Every structure is written in structure tokens, then in C-alpha cells.
Amino acid sequence: MSTVVFCEDDPMIQALIRAALRSAGHQVFVAADGTEGLDLVRRERPSVVFTDVSMPGIDGYQLAAQLRADPLTAHIPIVFMTASVQRSQLEEAKRHGATSVLTKPFSMSALRARVAELTSKS
């Protein structure tokens, strides 16, 4: 079982993600914004962080920058979730420390597979 922090401001997506990952045996913490996500990551030290790029307050890029700047969280894989598949957006995600990008909309099986892939490397 791995611990996952998921930063997503849409309550419906939060519920789907929580159910999909818990049914796969993961411990899931969901944050509605980047500030809450940062607090959760620092407290829970998850195996992987998923973050929406666009969120109120601290966005996904700012969240990643703060995680990468902290030696205690710099090693944690970060997956950016975005509806944009433009090359410039994908490059921007990599510049901000993304381990990978998950394009919205995504299936719950794709989400579970990404978590399994990233947590098996740790």
C-alpha cells in the first residue's frame, strides 16, 4: 500500500479518485487547493503527488516548486494533471518538476496504473 496526495479542486473528481485508489489498496489524502496539498505532503510524506495545474491559491506549478525546493519532499514524484495536451504545456510541466503528466479526462484504470508505476520505483 502506498500513500497518495491528490490536489484537485473539483469535488466530484475528488470522490472518484478517492474511491478508485482506496479500492486499489492505497491510502489517499485529497486537497482542494495547493496550500492544503502542500500541508498534506509535508505531513504525510506520500509516495506520489498528483496535482491539477489550475487550482485556487497555490497552483500546481507553485506547489511543485515548493516541494522541489524542500529537501524532505524533493524526491517525491509529482504528476501534473491537465486538460491541455499542447507541447508547450507539457514542456512547462517538466520545467516545473513534473515526473509525468496525466491528461484529463483520464480513466480510473489509467490513474491506478500510473500510481502503481510510480510507487513501484520507490
Q: Collapse the DSSP code of 120 into the 3-class scheme (helix H, G, I; strand E, B; otherwise coil) and give the result.
A: helix
Q: Which domain holds residue 63?
A: 3-120
pLDDT digits (tens, 9 = 90+) for 89-112: 778 778 888 898 888 888 999 999
**SS3 at position 27:** strand
On the question of pLDDT at 24 being above 70, the answer is yes
Does residue 117 have a pLDDT over 70? yes
Number of domains in the chain: 1
Q: What is the CA angle 39-110-29, rounded to 5? A: 20
CA atoms within 13 A on the CB side of 61: 10
Q: What is the domain-level CATH number for residue 10?
A: 3.40.50.2300
